[in-house]
Structure 1
């Protein structure tokens, strides 16, 4: 009897250990703190765990696994299974998705940003380039048009931008440089200190980042309608890890992306509704740029930077014109459907 009991116990323990061995656990590298920018990642983890009864879980780490500029490198070597990064941090590694960071593309809202981002992510040339880093593009982190905060007298003309030291990455940095500003690409987590120490005069961010990284707390003013563009920050997964998932796990992951994006959009929408209250509460002046100044900004920044980007991509044997045309046509369709 004791022998039978012992066998039964051994079998039961073996089943427990086998069950534990079958569970899948992913590490996810993001940065900063939980905020509107990471809500789709958090929602994705929640949905995947629910759909797999806890057999597929994700541990979201805010800076504990990697520096934000090194997340794509970490994905390439399999240091973690999922990560978020921004194209402007290393445009040489993700050349093609920087089309989404060109200034004055004409994107008007977050739904349109999702549409153009995912259209670019689905392009075979883009997927091939990211595969060089063992990365599969999973979903975007849609952000509204960037605007700048600053101290002192408001800068509301191109003349005021001359010599202005601005934290702006990628195509945004190029746009400001085109009108005489001096861009620097310090990371989001370094922006507050750069502003506080006087390394920069102004910081270009989406609203959530001005809140999350504290730059709004130092600001005297904020440009309400400059809207030069935004940055593109994909969520990627390690290809080997993705292909190692069971069919059920992969289905749980893929099918959760639309709902995670919807959650992100709803959450960000609430933040935008509160933005005017935040400005009033913190005593930040809302600055409106004139139509004439905006037109002059576009003339100096949009066409020349776009033309140079296309030429650079084509010169490297990459479909720059095709991708820009894809963004334009997708945006046109998205606006028509709205």
Structure 2
């Protein structure tokens, strides 16, 4: 069921704590004290537990303790996890319409606006909802514009990234190839060692990870203006588990999930800003591409838009309409103060 973006809370949900609450296992790949759990998932879980009167208990399995990052979505499908936080980037081709958000230079918006756009696309296009038919979607959200960072060599112009090994999972790989670099598929938890050992020369990563995953320790240069693509994420519940829950508990979970989408996106925006200030204070170099230089990067990658439309339309999917709506929503968001 598609969710509206805001809803009023219901009063009087809480009831006496039962002797045997239903435990739901929540798998994700971030560290246990990463803001996405501490400031996002945990408040959601607490609200659900309180409003259900303790009939639901949510247990977290962070840092890939239940399954690998790339397997989180399948864990929700199969029931290895009852709930999972999944990166769409780790399942290339599985969510073809959702991948519109990975198209380079598609817009310049916050994580909160990106999340709103993702949800509106999900609500508008049944074919996008079909991509998630194996699970119950609790909420969707995006990070802010994915950042580009390097260690040994600064990236000041298009020629600097060419021939580099660049971390770019899933759909991001096409952008890296178009820029003349070599993409390396790698999940976020593996990035620290990869940058430290020189397995990759640079990385496309959410900017907040510079601080939260301590990637500031293995990077020196951050190229601003080379991003403007967005990584979509999904928090999904196993369908069998969802269907087993009483209607009142389902309602509570849906209501709290609407709030969680907004909360997580806002936390991500704050994390991005904090991380940039943090690396600046550490003496890292922030490299701002000129408008002329950005145009060069844009020219190299823009053909990917046409290819994405052609590929999705060939599958019988409304790629052209989805791209058009995404661009419209991006422009609307960019106009807002």
Give the TM-score band, short-chain normalised. 0.7 to 0.9
**SS of 1:294's equivalent?**
helix
**SS of 1:130's equivalent?**
coil
Task: After TM superposition, give the deviation of residue 128 of structure 1 in Å.
Answer: 1.7
Q: Residue deviations 1:217-267, cap 9 Å, x none?
A: 121211133224121111111122222211111111111123223332443
Q: Residue deviations 1:100-158, cap 9 Å, x none?
A: 21111103112220111112322311222221xx2122212321111222123411101
Bigger proportion of residues as helix: 1
Instruction: Output the CA distance in 2 between the equivalents of 1:28 and 1:225.
Output: 35
Conserved 8 A contact 1:107-1:113: no
Q: How many residues align?
A: 318
Instruction: Output the CA distance in 2 between the equivalents of 1:230 and 1:280.
Output: 23
Aligned to 2:71: 70
Aligned to 2:239: 239
> What TM-score, normalized to structure 2?
0.87
Aligned to 1:124: 126
**SS of 2:132's equivalent?**
helix
Q: Pick closer, same or farther for the CA change 1:156–1:295 going to 2, 3 Å.
A: same
Conserved 8 A contact 1:127-1:137: no
**SS of 2:94's equivalent?**
coil
Instruction: Output the CA distance in 2 between the equivalents of 1:276 and 1:42.
Output: 25
Aligned to 1:4: none
Q: Residue deviations 1:65-90, cap 9 Å, x none?
A: 11111112111212221111111111
Question: Based on CA coordinates, which of the two structures has the bigger radius of gyration?
Answer: 1
What pairs up with 1:12-51 in 2 under 5 angstroms? 19-21=18-20, 23-33=21-31, 34-38=33-37, 39-51=39-51
Aligned to 1:53: 53
Unaligned runs of at least 5 residues, structure 2:
1-15
Task: After TM superposition, give the deviation of residue 276 of structure 1 in Å.
Answer: 4.2
Aligned to 2:82: 81
Instruction: Output the CA distance in 1 between the equivalents of 2:169 and 2:143.
Output: 14
Aligned to 1:114: 115
1:292 aligns with 2:268: no
Q: Pick closer, same or farther for the CA change 1:337–1:167 going to 2, 3 Å.
A: same
Instruction: Output the CA distance in 2 between the equivalents of 1:221 and 1:213.
Output: 16
Aligned to 2:3: none
Backbone CA RMSD of aligned residues: 2.1
Task: After TM superposition, give the deviation of residue 331 of structure 1 in Å.
Answer: 2.7
Aligned to 2:326: 327
Q: Residue deviations 1:196-233, cap 9 Å, x none?
A: 11111011111221223332112121113322412111
Instruction: Output the CA distance in 1 between the equivalents of 2:272 and 2:191.
Output: 21
Aligned to 2:6: none
Q: Pick closer, same or farther for the CA change 1:171–1:205 going to 2, 3 Å.
A: same
> What TM-score, normalized to structure 1?
0.87
Conserved 8 A contact 2:158-2:293: yes
Conserved 8 A contact 1:165-1:200: yes
Task: After TM superposition, give the deviation of residue 171 of structure 1 in Å.
Answer: 3.5
